[in-house]
Structure 1
């Protein structure tokens, strides 16, 4: 059913806001933040202009991949309430415009990263774009309920790229940052999928609750929340982060597990447990990475042992 609001959106001609919407700004804010945290926490430094350029390239690459995702999934987005108002299903943009915009952003981001920073960071950025736009969007998402598990790697690249932009090498620590987001992604998205599963079922997307059922999804959420704890603590355990980060990672991870327990126990009234976990999971990642940067900066200033 087309609502009056949707009709008004469709009637409005396309403008810059629609192209900006193609980049998924809410998702991009997390991409920019974790990429910046990787850059700031890495040993060494970049000139501020180069640092800004690296983060801009990460944002452009993420925006380009998101635009390609919307181009490919325009027909699916039209079937789901939470995505029907996007520029393509609402009819404000042509699909080819979204495709061309996404390709332009992706190519420009990789080229600028390579020329301004170095080609290792550019290669990782290119890999992240292909992973999200092709491996996840075109291959995994429509075929397997493990789409979020395997596809979680797409969102885990930004801190790795930010770190490597500074150091020009791939070491254990940036791989741990990658692993944290990789393990965080399934419980984060499956919590959302539990209270949005009707939309996914209508669109024919094989999300875990739709294919395997709620019971299996709830168990997987708790398992991943528990597995996330040692991975989040690993930077402290290997001595790459200090006590501030270690204490924060322990407290935040235990809270994550505590909120996953009622989700595992069963559906609460109006999916409140699932919504609480989903909301906290966003706070969790922002807080964890912010405290990682604070720990690193304080240690460099000699304020932490």
Structure 2
């Protein structure tokens, strides 16, 4: 049983799937707090929260499954991915396709139970990730921009899911949802490029072109640094628009400066240790900022 669970975990990229679901579940709670404060609902819909987690898990797992089907032959070339179940020969593409379709349809159905927008965005996310971002990785660094869109949809999906089937919408809800999307969208560029720097040698075996200049050079490091700097003002938008307090403002500023500092170290040193520190910093940045925002979320 354990080998099958291990293969399933690799197939769906469990850690990535968990991060996606975590992000959506946090923003669902933000949206719920806003609904409760307006008297639209008596309390947090925990059943809806569980549906979002399950639906988000299956949709994300399906997108990752389709990604691995498309890249099976390329995964064989890379040390990091050659032991995944399909390139290793422990699972056929047919089996993977069936699993992906079942998870995708079931996950979309679950999210559609919350509201139409959530279901449609989940389908859009699968299509963009699997069939636009995945093939573009070998063609151009623009793939990072394309991949950042479905990667930033979870907080938007989570917040909209909290609105349920309400027919009353307020401008502040759209403002909050878009800003949550923008923060995660901006975060992905230094995050992606730090990973691409660390794994560049492996990526080259499969022909992936993910660094800004496709090389570990000064310009790629500079663009990564600029993206980390741009994240700082974007992360302060919740406080600027009044739905985030001063605590999240302070944490976002400190976390953003630390993030930018590690990006600066990469620019100055152009080495793997600096890229790894930036990469690990990116792993901690997002959940910290999102959790603090949840507890410093101001409803009006």
Please give the TM-score of this superposition, normalised by the length of structure 2. Answer: 0.89
Q: Deviations over 1:34-57 (max 9, x none)?
A: 011110111125421121001211
| 1:264 and 2:267 correspond | yes
Q: Deviations over 1:139-197 (max 9, x none)?
A: x2221112112211111111111100112566011111111111111211211211211
CA distance in 2, matches of 1:13, 1:56: 22
Counterpart for residue 252 of structure 2: 249
| 1:130 and 2:127 correspond | yes
**Equivalent position to 2:207, from 201, 204, 209:** 204
**Equivalent position to 1:117, from 110, 114, 124:** 114
| 1:105 and 2:103 correspond | yes
CA distance in 2, matches of 1:58, 1:132: 14
Asked whether the 8 Å contact 2:132–2:146 carries over to 1, the reply is: no
Counterpart for residue 195 of structure 1: 198
Asked whether the 8 Å contact 2:212–2:223 carries over to 1, the reply is: no
- Displacement of 1:19 in angstroms is 2.6
| 1:37 and 2:20 correspond | no
CA distance in 1, matches of 2:273, 2:212: 17
Q: Deviations over 1:194-224 (max 9, x none)?
A: 1211111111111226725422210111010
Please give the TM-score of this superposition, normalised by the length of structure 1. Answer: 0.88
Figure out how many residues of one structure are paired with residues of the other and give that number: 284
Asked whether the 8 Å contact 2:58–2:103 carries over to 1, the reply is: yes
Counterpart for residue 18 of structure 1: 7
Change (3 A) 1:48 1:40: same
CA distance in 2, matches of 1:150, 1:124: 15
Equivalent positions of 1:152-301 (< 5 A) are 152-167=148-163, 171-208=174-211, 211-268=214-271, 271-296=272-297, 299=298
Q: Deviations over 1:116-151 (max 9, x none)?
A: 21111111111111111112113x222111211221
- Displacement of 1:13 in angstroms is 11
- SS of equivalent residue, structure 2 residue 84: coil
Structure 2: state its 5+ residue gaps.
36-42
CA distance in 2, matches of 1:62, 1:214: 33
Structure 1: state its 5+ residue gaps.
1-11
Counterpart for residue 4 of structure 1: none
- The Cα RMSD (Å) is 2.0
